[in-house]
Amino acid sequence: MEEFFQQLTNGLAVGGIYALIALGYTMVYGILRLINFAHGDLFTLGAYLGFTLLVSWGLSGVLGGLAVAGVLILFAMGLVAIAGCLLERIAYRPLRNSDRLTAVVSALGASIFVQNAIMLVCGARSQVYPTGILPTTIIPIFGVDVSAMRFLMFGFSLLLMLLLYGFIHKTRLGAAIRAVAIDQDAAKLMGIDVNRIISTVFLIGPALGGAAGVMVGLFYGQITYDMGFSFGLKAFTAAILGGIGNIPGAMVGGILLGVIEALGAAYISIAWKDAIAFCVLILILIFRPTGILGERVAEKI
Amino acid sequence: MNARIIDHPQFSLLVGVVFFMLMAMVPTGLELSGVSGGGIAQLDVLNKIGIYAVLALSLNIILGQTGLFNMGHAAFFAVGAYTTAILNTMYQWPVFSTMPAAGFLAALFAFLVVMPIIHLRGDYLLVVTIGIVEIVRIALMNNIFGITGGPNGIYGIARPALFGLVFSSVKLQYYLIWSFTGISLFLFYLLEHSRIGRAFNYIKHDDLAAAGCGINVARYKLMAFVLGAFWAGMAGTLYAANIRTIEPMSFNFYESVILFAIVILGGSGSNAGVILGAFLLVGLQDLFRGFDSARMLFFGAAMCAMMVFRPQGLLPPRRRRYNAWQLVGKFASAIRRSYPCDEDKRNDR
């Protein structure tokens, strides 16, 4: 029982991170019908930016633990958002009207580019985040000692998701994003500047990914230049699991995938941990390609 | 009459023959030109290019001809290479006799894995095939069935031998690999110009219309995968025999990306383009070994730039040409046979 509870909370914390990354995939896919392969590497970029900031500014001495984390996350979010926007300008916008494969290959190229740029600048060795920024208190729940950090992670990703949900559903800009996702041409006729909306989506998605990057750094303590690949692929799995293009779906899918993976690693085999997520991906695409919350769309998958 | 040689229907065949005659002279040429080491290093690179060319040609059937986004080609390659390695080191099969087994197992694997997902559209297929290649790599790492040797892989694969001739030197390997490439290229040329090849192309351009014309789309898609995987498996044999040590990391996602890029950048659907792509991507990679760390950076940037400026690839496939006159001739004679006209009867008498 204790093991189960440990793995469950661990899965929730990781799942929150998956969900944040998955939101970036699902929003871009919802609007452009494009798998933004470079998104996973923007997430890595966030982790490295947070790291650089933390080390070079020596923030941890000046502010309290949580404030440092907050500043880092905000900063990484801003910078990664700019990177995402630039990426869209350079690699995707010229291909807006070409066929899907072209854009997918360009996205792959961008992914390889960003990943190797990070490697060239920051080195191929893994970097270690300074410890002691987040509280390491242990909270006893039902007689099981659980690290508070997990709840903090989960809580923070939940907060970001709720903010996004509110933004998408309560503001004018959010309504415009939903409109463009449904029908670009009709949205254009209604006076929505589609290019601006796409740029906005490429600001929000990477910003969430950047936040997730810093959180991974703080949570695991270690970052590598190529971690974006596996995190990205799993987050994409999460997005499909919940129903791609569907924002609540990405949240549910991410958390679910985190829990499945943590429990699978504990009860099936730790060596096959990464394979579990891919098996989930294949099974969901075979049996329910629209995902858990996805609606049946006219276009066949 | 402005018949140019380029327009000749057998032009590509001719180019291929000339190309392979030139390739056959390369080792002798390198020796005569007095390159240091007798051109061994250059031949080694050419061997690598040859293996990648076969792999990319086999991916071209799936991705280029049929338009199925397969990012998991390294998985089929891995199945073939491991089949050869296991049969050779554990059961002492000669390398050449493992080749059909490698091809067959890779094809069987493709058939079983791809069958449930064949209906997936475009980029979904892409993501699933990435998943497959990762699962295969993880399975190999975890020493599945206890025969893959885990992360260290398998070493000590024998040299291939045929009728007492052991392909031990780099030069002999070169002839072996490039004759295999030549044979593959010729067979793929025939495939492209066959009924099946036309069906593949039709599916690529419009699978709904293809289905309307009575093409069993799912079966042909599966056939493309199985054929491509069979050839990738045999390329696995060549690779295992050339490199003699195989490990799971040789079959990771980035191998698939490179193969994918060779086909797309070379000109998807065009055999000549794929060969050119293999030379450019694998050969240039080797030339830039000095800038090892920045190599992939350029590679990624080139992929983006290429898609923006020349998405059809360097050497896109030529339009299919049909000898219309010949078809009319056939058709007219068919009419005559079924409805003999007066003139015919008079001639018969």
Q: How far does B84 lie from chain A, in Å, by closest CA?
A: 25
Q: Report how far residue B297's alpha carbon sits from residue B198's, in angstroms, rounded to the nearest whole number.
A: 37
Nearest to B138 among A99, A275, A300 (CB): A275
Contact B318, B270 (CB under 8 A): yes
A123 at B interface, C-beta within 8 A = no
Q: Is B89 exposed, middle or buried (0-12, 13-18, 19+ CB in 10 A)?
A: middle
Task: Give the tokens for residue A146.
Answer: 């659980």
CA torsion, points A242, A246, A250, A252, in degrees to nearest 10?
A: -60
How many other CB atoms are there within 10 angstroms of residue B250's CB atom?
Answer: 18
* Residues of chain A neighbouring B261 (CB-CB closer than 8 A): 105, 108
| Residue closest to A247 by CA, chosen among A15, A22, A39 | A22
Question: For residue B347, what pLDDT is reported?
Answer: 52
Contact criterion met (CB < 8 Å) for A109 and B135: no
The predicted model gives A74-82 an average pLDDT of 91
pLDDT category of residue A206 using cuts at 50, 70 and 90:
very high
Return the domain boundaries, chain B: 18-250
3-class DSSP state of A134: coil
Asked if residue A47 has pLDDT above 70, the reply is yes
At A244-269, the pLDDT tens digits run 888 888 888 998 999 998 888 888 77
Q: Is B329 an interface residue toward A (CB < 8 Å)?
A: no
How far apart are alpha carbons B105 and B219 in whole angstroms? Answer: 19
Average pLDDT of chain A, as a whole number: 84
Smallest Cβ distance to A112: which of B131, B264, B303?
Answer: B303
Q: Among A43-57, A144-158, B53-67, where is mean pLDDT lowest?
A: A144-158
Q: What is the DSSP letter of A142?
A: T
Q: B303 — contact with chain A (CB < 8 Å)?
A: yes
The answer to whether the Cβ–Cβ distance between A240 and B120 falls below 8 Å is no
Q: Which of A281, A101, A249 is nearest to A181 (CA)?
A: A249
User: Strand A222-223 and strand B154-155: pairing?
Assistant: unpaired
Banded pLDDT at A59 (limits 50, 70, 90): low
- Tell me if B134 and A274 make a contact (CB, 8 A cut-off): yes
State how far the Cα of A127 lies from the Cα of A44, in Å rounded to an integer.
Answer: 12
Contacts with A, B 123-152, CB within 8 Å: 123-124, 126-128, 130-132, 134-135, 138-139, 141-142
Cβ atoms of residues B301 and A96 within 8 Å: no
Is the minimum CB–CB distance between B122 and chain A shorter than 8 Å? yes
Q: When comparing pLDDT for B4 and A26, which is higher?
A: A26
Amino acid at B233: G
Degrees, nearest 5: CA angle B232-B233-B238: 90
Per-residue pLDDT of chain B (349 residues; tens, 9 = 90+): 456 766 666 777 788 888 888 887 777 777 777 777 767 777 888 888 999 999 999 999 998 888 888 888 999 999 999 998 888 888 878 878 888 999 999 999 999 998 888 888 777 888 888 888 888 888 888 877 777 777 777 877 777 777 777 777 778 888 888 888 999 988 998 888 888 988 998 898 888 888 888 888 899 999 999 999 999 999 998 898 888 888 888 888 888 888 888 888 888 888 888 998 888 888 887 777 666 667 778 888 888 888 888 878 887 887 776 666 666 655 555 555 554 555 545 555 4
Tell me the C-alpha distance between B258 and B275, whole Å: 13
Asked if residue A300 has pLDDT above 50, the reply is no
Residue A43 pLDDT exceeds 90: yes
When pLDDT is averaged across residues A3-20 and rounded to a whole number, the result is 85
pLDDT exceeds cutoff 70 at A298: no
Angle between the N-to-C axes of helices B11-32 and B170-192, in degrees from 0 to 180, rounded to the nearest 10: 170
Q: Which of A105, A112, A285 sits opposite B307 (nearest CB)?
A: A105
Nearest alpha carbon to residue B73 among B235, B207, B304: B235
pLDDT of residue B112: 92
Residue A124 in contact with partner chain B when CB distance is under 8 A:
yes
Domain spans, chain A: 2-126+144-287
CA distance B220 to chain A (A): 18
pTM of the model as a whole? 0.83
**Chain A residue whose CA is closest to B204:** A101
Identify from B127, B264, B281 which residue to disrupt to test chain A contact, counting A C-beta atoms within 10 A and taking the largest count.
Answer: B127
A284 or B5, greater pLDDT = A284
Given a contact cutoff of 8 angstroms between Cβ atoms, the answer to whether B113 and B228 are in contact is no
Predicted pLDDT of residue A295: 61
**Nearest residue on chain A to B302, alpha-carbon basis:** A109
Closest-CA distance of chain B to residue A8, Å: 24
The CATH code for residues A2-126+144-287 is: 1.10.3470.10
Contact B311 A98 (CB under 8 A): yes
Q: Is A105 within 8 Å of B139 when comparing Cβ atoms?
A: no
B67, B228 contact by CB (below 8 A): no
**Structure-model confidence comparison of residues A300 and A134, the more confident one:** A134
Q: Looking at residue B349, what is its pLDDT?
A: 46
Name residue A91's amino acid: A
CA distance B67 to B207: 10
Minimal CA separation from A246 to chain B, in Å: 16
Region A21-34: what's the mean pLDDT? 88
B118 close to A (CB below 8 A):
no
Of A75-89, A103-117, A164-178, B241-255, the least confident: B241-255
